[in-house]
Each structure stands twice: as C-alpha cells, then as structure tokens.
Chain A
Amino acid sequence: MFNYTIRRLLFAIPTLFVISFLIFAILDLAPNDPTGNLPLTIPPEVRENIRISLGLGEPFPIRYLKWCQQFFINEPLNLIEQWFDISIGDSENRLRVQSWATRSPVVDLIVERLPQTLWVLGLSYVIGILIAIPIGVISAYKQYSIFDQIGTFISMVGFSVPTFFTGLVCIVFFSSTLGWFPSIYDTTHEVTDLASFWFQVKQMIMPVMVLALFNASQLSRFMRASMLDNLSQDYVRTARAKGLKERSVLLIHVLRNSLIPVVTVIALGLPQIFAGAIITEQIFRVNGLGQLLIIGIQGADIPLVQTLTFIFAVLIVLFNLIADILYGMLDPRIRYE
C-alpha cells in the first residue's frame, strides 16, 4: 500500500505538469489585455510599458517556465518561511505570482479567502453526509415504504434543482419576506461573544444548508443503492442465521460493506464542491475562493485565474488518489501492489 501510494504520487507529478501547461497555454491564447480596463487617455507607449512590467514582453515558453519557477519553487519557499519564521536565501527579491489587478501575490489572496470557503463548503459537506447516510440506510431497509417514497421524491427534486435556484428562493423567502437571515455574508464579522456567534450561525445557515441539501440528495441516493445491493447478499442471510439482532445485521454487516463505494464517492466529490462554491458564493455573497475566481475572470487577471484553476486541478488529482487509497483500506479484497 505504501509503495503504491508513493508510485501514484510520482505519477501525479508529470500529470500535474501537463495540466499546468495546458491551463497556461489556453489562458494565454484567450484574447485579453490587462490594460483594457485602464482609462482611454493613457497613451499606447505607456500601455506597452505596463505590459512589459507585467512580464508580457517575453515569449510564451519563457513566461511558462517563469510561472513554474514562481509557483513551484518560490511560493512554497515563501510559505515555509512564513510558517517557520525563517528566511531562506534572498527572500526579499524572490519573484512571486502576482495578480495583475491588485498587484499583490496571488497566494496571499487565496490564503486570505480560503477560510470562508472551507467553513461554508466543509460544513455543508459534513452536514450533507450526516443527513444522507441515515436516510439512505433507512430508505433501503424500508424499501418502498412511505419514508422511502418521500425520501426518493425530495432527493430527486433536490438533485434536479440547481443550487442557484434554491439559493435565490431561500433568499427571497427567509431574508426578504421573513427577515430571519441576512442575505449578504459578512466575511469581516468576528465571533467574540454569544451574540456575535449567533449572528455567524444565522449568516451561515442558508449557504450551508442549500449546499448541504444538494450534496445530501445525491449521496443519499447512492447510499440507498449501495445498501440495497448488499441487503440481498448471501452473507446477510448468514448473519441472520447466526441469531444476530436485526440492528447488528444492518449496522455492522450491511453498512460496513455499503460504505465502501460511498466513501469513495465522498472523496471524489470533495473537489467538485469547490466548483459548486463558485455559484453558491456568488449568490450568498460569500467572499471566498469561488468569488475570487469570478473576479479574476471578469478582470482578465490571468495569473490569478491560472493559479486558482491549477489548484482545483491539484485537488482533483489528489482526491482521486485519496479515493483509491481509501478503497484499498476499506475493502480487504483489494491489494495494491
């Protein structure tokens, strides 16, 4: 298993380089001009100088290699320096991936936005899982019961209706009509006492629940199907014939087997929720990574978009690996050599 993991990690390196190159190349081909948003009174020579100062004067391969150096060497070094409060080499003059729009390092922007995204997304995913698993288990065990029918219907709806719609409906209903929750997420809000904590809970409820229900409706379907698969297996009959309680049969024997594919799907789905965040954060005005990406795209802030897209790609590759490893850990029949 250890060797397998190392090998997979080594394989991931060339994969990620190819991905980074493709992202860089595609964004480079896109027609854009970082000076396009500047006032028209600025003369062309000045514009040209700005472009050169942004590093656009050089040919494509050089720019790509420079980006690689900045992203893969300089940024990690910088992070290490910050964490351990040391300085390695000439840290003052080390070039970092700079945002064109804000002129601050892209990684700093991301680090600044990350907590909001992680809180909202992470919480919604965890809540989604906690809702989905019991519903899936009961739906399968009581197949075709009223509970199952209602559950199936709700998850069908929850899965088919996109979050930007449910999100808007929630805002209209709970914020505008009832006035229970704020419609704009205040990122600068700090929790200091019970009242401010309550405010934090109120502003998080809608985005978290909209995403959580969406995730839950997908996962509970999956959980149900997996449980049904296993409930009809012969080993379930053996467990009953041993005289086990129905609860043990279901929650030990069947659930343990059913979770194998579900856990894999949960791991594979994690990077996807970042994609989902792009929409949800926009609707609930959560100042997170998704919104950062949208701003970057609108402002033709190529380095920012490149870096964010690449980080998403890294997450996908990483969680694919994690899913495979989890599968191997949960299923004793799988042996990775």
Chain B
Amino acid sequence: MTVREPAGRQSSQQVVLEVNDLKTTFNTRDGQVHAVNNVSFSLSTGELLGVVGESGSGKSVTMMSLLKLLPSPPAEVVADSILYEGRDVLSMGDEELRELRGGGIGFIFQDPMTSLNPVFTVGYQLTEAIRQHLPISKKEARARAAELLAKVGIAQPVERLRDFPHQFSGGMRQRVMIAMSLACEPKVLIADEPTTALDVTIQAQILELVRDLRRDQGMGIIWITHDLGVVAGIADRVIVMYGGQIVEHAPVKELFNNPQHPYTKALLATMPSIDASRSERLYSIEGQPPSLSGAPTRCSFAPRCEYAFDRCLEENPPIVSMDNNHQAACWLRHPQYTAQGSQHPPEEISLRETF
C-alpha cells in the first residue's frame, strides 16, 4: 500500500524519513508478540508528526525499530524499507548506522529518570554525544554542552555540567535528555512522550523550544504523546495507533474535525473539554487492549468497537486513503462499503457481549 503525501507541504520541504510496511515482532519465551504491524508513514523537513494511541499500542517500539535500538533477540524488525534521506536503514553497516543515531536522528526517551547513566556527570554524557559526531576538542565540546543546557532552560549551565543525573529533578533530567538529542543538530527528532513527566509550565517551555527548532533548523519532528491537547496545538499531521497498527492518519485539523475511525472518535470523546461541566464524567473506552500474540486476522479494535459488524471479525481492514489526505483502517470507510452503488454497510451490531 502507498502512503499519500500529506497536505499543506511547501515546495521547500522534502521527505527525510520514509517507512514502508514496518513489522516488529518479539520472540519471547511465552510466544510471539506482534508489537508493530504494517506501519507506513513519512516525515518531511520542518514538519511535526504527532503520534497518539493508548499505552501498549506500539508507539515506542515503532520508533525504536527505525534506529534498530531494540536488542535482537528478542526483537525482529522487517520492513519493505526504512529510508532516511533515501538510504535504507535496514541495510546500513555499523558505521553508517552509528552516524545516523544521534547524528541524523535524535531520540528523546520516555523515562527521564532511567535514561541517563547514573555514574557519569551530565557534562560527560553530553560531550560524549557531541564528540561522537563532531570533530571538535573536549574543551569546545564542553562549551557546546553548556550552550545546549542553557538552550533547554537550565540555569548555571557551566556549573551543572559537573553534576550527576541524580542531582537533577525529573523535569531537569528530561531537559538534559532533550539537550543531548539536539547535540548534533539532527535532521529528525523523535520525542517519545517527552513531556509526560513534566509539569505544565515546563511542558509549555519545551513545546516553545521545539517550535523554534522546527522554524530555525527545519528539523522534522515525531512527537509521541497520549495528550491529544498537545497534539492539537503543535502537530501538522497525526497518526493514531492501535494494537500495533496505524488506524488513522490525517492532517491535524482534519483529524479533530472529521475523525473517521471509531477508535479516534472514542479517543476524542475522552478528551476533557474546557466547557464541560465538572459533574460530567469522562468518557473512557471500555474493554481490554488487543492481544498481540499473532498477526492481526481481524480488526483489532472490534472487541471494543460499537460499530463492529461481521466483516470486522473476518478480515483486518486495510488502511485506505480518502479525501483531504485522510487515511483510515476501518471497514466502514472501505470503498467496498462507501463507493457509489456498493453494498451498504450493514446495521451496526454490538458484538461486545460476544467477547
């Protein structure tokens, strides 16, 4: 299947990252885990791609697969191609891959508390990242490290270089992680729930920083989050993941105004709105997250979907493109049921009690 070019792209933008049909499987003692299935997307310079989905939907695994950061075994990554500036990551040699990690693609990990090495100073860990990719002296690297800390809003950056990670608060550590991932001005930044651990004001500061980076350096950014509010504020395009698959993919306005997949609709319904009265209870999606023990043979959202019908249980819906650069993987949106003169989608039936 092909991925349509997203909307609103100016001619100066070019695709830096293109993922075609990515599959990641874990071979564990308790059997296989199909964590990522048939994921395809692309990212252009200066673009911010939001990725949302509940915990366990495969967001982190997808992104780590791109840089081959998952230890193998147990992980096994296959794809038609993972292209960074036209070069296939999967066929890269060690040297080229290391150049890509940190040099071409920066990564901010989910948990700032454990992502820094506890026994080395922050200065050491930053300069190490810088000197890995830039041919500069230790002294210059330290100066640059201090500069980076200042950039992410850490006071007294020169002094703080001597501190160990445990001397920083969670928010401060995440800033250090961000500084580290920006050390070599990568063309792509992957941020895995970077602001989850932070309070709102710091979150806002970091979002501001990210906005500047996009504008000034034309950095392409993948922003993973489960906060739809953040996505609405900063993303150009949004990918919605469920059960290791992309179930909906659309420009941000289009997604919020015109969601096509029942899961996205449910997600949007869980968003607290400002005008909602306090007594109004948050809508939450009922049911269990899907099992990932096999390749999908039916719609993985079917057990929790209020619109599910018989086809949903027989076959996994392919992702199909619609107007306005909108894609969704749902039988209700499939041309077989939506095209003129096609069979009408059957009556909605509730299958919940059958599971």
Give min CB distance, B239 to chain A, whole Å: 21
The answer, yes or no, to whether A244 is at the interface (CB within 8 Å) is: yes
The answer, yes or no, to whether B271 is at the interface (CB within 8 Å) is: no
Instruction: Determine if B115 and A235 form an interchain contact, defined as CB atoms under 8 angstroms apart.
Output: yes
Per-residue B-contact encoding for A213-239, CB less than 8 Å = 1, 0 else: 000000000000000000001110111
The answer, yes or no, to whether A331 is at the interface (CB within 8 Å) is: yes
B128 interface neighbour in A237, A244, A332, A333, Cβ under 8 Å? A244
The answer, yes or no, to whether A240 is at the interface (CB within 8 Å) is: yes
Q: Is the interface of A mostly helix, strand, loop or mixed?
A: helix
Instruction: Determine if A333 and B118 form an interchain contact, defined as CB atoms under 8 angstroms apart.
Output: yes
The answer, yes or no, to whether A243 is at the interface (CB within 8 Å) is: yes
Instruction: Give the CA-CA distance A215 to B166 in the complex, in Å.
Output: 34
A233 contacts across to B, CB distance below 8 A: 114
B118 interface neighbour in A235, A237, A240, Cβ under 8 Å? A235
**Contact A234 to B166, CB < 8 A, known contacts A241-B69, A241-B102, A332-B119:** no
Give min CB distance, A263 to chain B, whole Å: 12
Which residues of B in the span 158-199 have a Cβ within 8 Å of any Cβ on A? 164, 166, 177, 180-181
Q: Of all chain B residues, which has the CB nearest A238?
A: B115
Instruction: Determine if B114 and A234 form an interchain contact, defined as CB atoms under 8 angstroms apart.
Output: yes
Instruction: Determine if A243 and B119 form an interchain contact, defined as CB atoms under 8 angstroms apart.
Output: no
A253 contacts across to B, CB distance below 8 A: 117, 120
Per-residue A-contact encoding for B99-122, CB less than 8 Å = 1, 0 else: 111110001010100111111100
The answer, yes or no, to whether B9 is at the interface (CB within 8 Å) is: no
The answer, yes or no, to whether A257 is at the interface (CB within 8 Å) is: yes
B181 contacts across to A, CB distance below 8 A: 241
Q: Is the interface of B mostly helix, strand, loop or mixed?
A: helix
Q: Of all chain A residues, which has the CB nearest B121?
A: A332
Instruction: Determine if A238 and B116 form an interchain contact, defined as CB atoms under 8 angstroms apart.
Output: yes
Q: Of all chain A residues, which has the CB nearest B116?
A: A235
Instruction: Determine if B115 and A243 form an interchain contact, defined as CB atoms under 8 angstroms apart.
Output: no
The answer, yes or no, to whether B67 is at the interface (CB within 8 Å) is: yes
Instruction: Give the CA-CA distance A257 to B118 in the complex, in Å.
Output: 8
Instruction: Determine if B118 and A243 form an interchain contact, defined as CB atoms under 8 angstroms apart.
Output: no
Instruction: Give the CA-CA distance A27 to B9 in the complex, in Å.
Output: 90
A333 interface neighbour in B101, B164, B180, Cβ under 8 Å? B164
The answer, yes or no, to whether A7 is at the interface (CB within 8 Å) is: no
Give min CB distance, A83 to chain B, whole Å: 40
The answer, yes or no, to whether B217 is at the interface (CB within 8 Å) is: no
Q: Of all chain A residues, which has the CB nearest B130?
A: A242
The answer, yes or no, to whether A103 is at the interface (CB within 8 Å) is: no
A234 interface neighbour in B111, B164, B180, Cβ under 8 Å? B111
Which residues of B in the span 134-179 have a Cβ within 8 Å of any Cβ on A? 164, 166, 177
Instruction: Determine if A332 and B166 form an interchain contact, defined as CB atoms under 8 angstroms apart.
Output: yes
A/B pair count, beta carbons within 8 Å: 70
B111 contacts across to A, CB distance below 8 A: 234
Instruction: Determine if B107 and A331 form an interchain contact, defined as CB atoms under 8 angstroms apart.
Output: no
The answer, yes or no, to whether B27 is at the interface (CB within 8 Å) is: no
A241 contacts across to B, CB distance below 8 A: 67, 69, 101-102, 107, 109, 181
Interface residues on chain A, size class: 20 to 34
Q: Of all chain A residues, which has the CB nearest B95?
A: A245
The answer, yes or no, to whether B211 is at the interface (CB within 8 Å) is: no
Instruction: Determine if A332 and B69 form an interchain contact, defined as CB atoms under 8 angstroms apart.
Output: no
The answer, yes or no, to whether B344 is at the interface (CB within 8 Å) is: no
Instruction: Determine if A243 and B101 form an interchain contact, defined as CB atoms under 8 angstroms apart.
Output: yes
Instruction: Determine if B117 and A243 form an interchain contact, defined as CB atoms under 8 angstroms apart.
Output: no
Instruction: Determine if B129 and A242 form an interchain contact, defined as CB atoms under 8 angstroms apart.
Output: yes
A332 contacts across to B, CB distance below 8 A: 118-119, 164, 166
Which residues of B in the span 19-35 have a Cβ within 8 Å of any Cβ on A? none
The answer, yes or no, to whether B98 is at the interface (CB within 8 Å) is: yes
The answer, yes or no, to whether A318 is at the interface (CB within 8 Å) is: no
The answer, yes or no, to whether A330 is at the interface (CB within 8 Å) is: yes
B164 contacts across to A, CB distance below 8 A: 332-333
Give min CB distance, A209 to chain B, whole Å: 34
Which residues of B in the span 60-109 have a Cβ within 8 Å of any Cβ on A? 64, 67, 69, 94, 98-103, 107, 109
Instruction: Determine if A238 and B117 form an interchain contact, defined as CB atoms under 8 angstroms apart.
Output: yes
B103 contacts across to A, CB distance below 8 A: 243
The answer, yes or no, to whether B133 is at the interface (CB within 8 Å) is: yes
Instruction: Determine if B102 and A242 form an interchain contact, defined as CB atoms under 8 angstroms apart.
Output: yes
The answer, yes or no, to whether B132 is at the interface (CB within 8 Å) is: yes
Give min CB distance, A204 to chain B, whole Å: 37
B180 contacts across to A, CB distance below 8 A: 238, 242
The answer, yes or no, to whether A256 is at the interface (CB within 8 Å) is: yes
Give min CB distance, A240 to chain B, whole Å: 6
Q: Of all chain B residues, which has the CB nearest A246?
A: B94
Instruction: Determine if B98 and A256 form an interchain contact, defined as CB atoms under 8 angstroms apart.
Output: no
B102 interface neighbour in A237, A243, A256, A330, Cβ under 8 Å? A243
**Contact A260 to B102, CB < 8 A, known contacts A238-B109, A244-B132, A332-B164:** no
A235 contacts across to B, CB distance below 8 A: 114-118
Instruction: Give the CA-CA distance A233 to B115 in the complex, in Å.
Output: 8
Q: Of all chain B residues, which has the CB nearest A333?
A: B166
Sorted nearest first, the 6 A-B pairs with minimum C-beta distance are A243-B102, A234-B114, A243-B101, A235-B117, A242-B129, A243-B98
Would you mind naming 19 contact pairs between A and B with Cβ atoms under 8 Å apart? A234-B115, A235-B115, A235-B116, A235-B117, A237-B64, A238-B107, A238-B115, A238-B117, A238-B177, A241-B67, A241-B69, A241-B101, A242-B129, A243-B99, A243-B100, A243-B102, A244-B132, A246-B94, A260-B119
A sample of 8 more A-B contacts (CB under 8 A), given A238-B115, A245-B98, A331-B119, is A234-B109, A234-B111, A237-B109, A237-B115, A241-B107, A242-B102, A242-B128, A243-B99
